[in-house]
Amino acid sequence: MSLERFALAPDLSICRLLNGMWQVSGGHGRIDRTKALESMAAHVADGFTTWDLADHYGPAEDFVGEYRRRYSSEHGDAALASLQFFTKWVPRPGPMTGPVASAAVATSQRRMAATTLDLLQFHWWDYADRRYFDALAHLAELRDAGAIRHLALTNFDTERLAGILDRGIGIVSNQVQFSLIDRRPEVRMAPWCREHGVHLLAYGAVCGGLLSERYLGHPEPRGSALDTVSLQKYKRMVDAWGGWGLFQELLTVLSSIAARHGVSIPTVSVRWVLDRPGVAGVILGRRLGLSDHRAENAKLFAVRLAAEDLARIDEVASKSHDLFRSIGDCGDEHR
């Protein structure tokens, strides 16, 4: 089975299913370094070559550094160049000077054992603090100097993304929450991105695992039953969307669509997001060494959802609350 790839930029091809590393940062079970690195190797061997991480995801950048060093010594630097590692810079509010930006990039380069960062995704907490323009201008200089291959954003809304492009700062992608539960990107972000050539990388596509057979017919999970921070976060999103009763209706419909295609609920859920206009890739959280969904994930690339499947999904979604109205545009849930 060949995995779908996408040209995020002319010199940057990605696997459309990216491996997310937030799950190694704590709150998702104890991650064993040796097993995690073995699992990274197994994912890459199966063609899942693209990784999403961040400066604040615990040891994620160090795991990548270790993995890259090993891979280079076993397979050579040319082979290493066919893998992609996308990190983020999530600075605390403060002066965004050239030295501050350079130091952040240098730290990621050192930890990830990379002279050039494939993609640096910038996050900013407070739009009222307009120093994000300073930070991005310095990052663009670092990109032009070769420290970063491409510059990207995470959790920016459409208005600010447009403002950044208006200043002539080239951005290849914006990473946002996008799922059958959270369809806010369809309202403004995705149409704007398509018009302006910015790509979306989507996370939350299986809601931490809530969008799976495990929760079909399951009583509403609360408290310690939600045993990862990802499940806790997306359960709050399900509550805002329409609650557990409506979520069960959605799972039931997804289960029958999945059965028709001979796949699972997560596969249908991810396929739906991947097929949204403007979406370049979906990032799935990997609990490296604790769980492994590679075999099921590969089936994703053979599934084509029919118009009838989409209509059945939309019928349930039409009963949900309008999250764009209650939360706002992409990223507003973080602010």
Ligand X SMILES: NC(=O)c1ccc[n+]([C@@H]2O[C@H](COP(=O)([O-])OP(=O)(O)OC[C@H]3O[C@@H](n4cnc5c(N)ncnc54)[C@H](OP(=O)(O)O)[C@@H]3O)[C@@H](O)[C@H]2O)c1
Residues that bind ligand X (CB under 6 A): 20-23, 52, 154-155, 175, 203-209, 212, 230, 264, 266, 283-285, 287, 291, 293, 296-297
Nearer to ligand X, 141 or 227 (CB): 227
CA dist list (Å): 307 to 14, 102, 272, 282, 319: 27, 49, 11, 21, 19
Q: Tell me the residue nearest to ligand X as measured from the CB.
A: 20
> What's CA 119's distance to the chain center, in Å?
13
**Is 200 strand, coil or helix?**
strand
What is the closest distance, in whole angstroms, from the C-beta atom of residue 36 to ligand X in the complex?
13
Minimum distance, C-beta of residue 208 to ligand X, in the bound complex (Å)? 4
Q: Identify the CA nearest to 158 among candidates 206, 195, 207, 204.
A: 195
Report, in Å, the least distance between residue 297 CB and ligand X: 5
Query: How far apart are the two ends of the chain, measured CA to CA in Å?
Result: 41
Q: What is the 3-state secondary structure (H, E, C) of 101-132?
A: HHHHHHHHHHHHCCCCEEEEEECCCCCCCCCH
Residue 26 CB, nearest approach to ligand X (Å): 12
Nearest to 179 by CA among 208, 205, 207, 154: 205
The single-letter DSSP state of residue 280 is E
Q: How far is the CB of 162 from ligand X (least distance, A)?
A: 19
Closer by beta carbon to ligand X, 84 or else 212? 212
Smallest separation, CB 1 to ligand X (Å): 15
Cβ(297)–Cβ(284) below 8 Å? yes
Question: Between 97 and 252, whose beta carbon lies closer to ligand X?
Answer: 252
Choice between 202 and 253, CB closer to ligand X:
202
Smallest distance, Å, CB 196 to ligand X?
20
Phi, psi of 118 (to 5 degrees): -60, -45
Minimum distance from residue 267 beta carbon to ligand X (Å): 6
Helices (H) and strands (E) in the chain, counts: 13, 10
**Is the Cβ–Cβ distance between 267 and 299 less than 8 Å?**
yes
Nearer to ligand X, 72 or 218 (CB): 218
The continuous run of DSSP H or E covering 57 comes out as none
Do 174 and 152 touch, CB atoms closer than 8 A?
yes
CB nearer to ligand X: give 125 or 133. 125
Q: What is the DSSP string of 11-25?
A: TEEEESEEEE-GGGS
**b/e per residue, 157-168, with b = 16+ CB within 10 A?**
bbebbebbeeee
Which lies closer to ligand X via its Cβ, residue 71 or residue 124?
124
User: Would you say 203 or 241 has its CB closer to ligand X?
Assistant: 203
Considering the complex, state which of residue 283 and residue 327 has its C-beta at the smaller distance from ligand X. 283
Q: How far is the CB of 154 from ligand X (least distance, A)?
A: 4
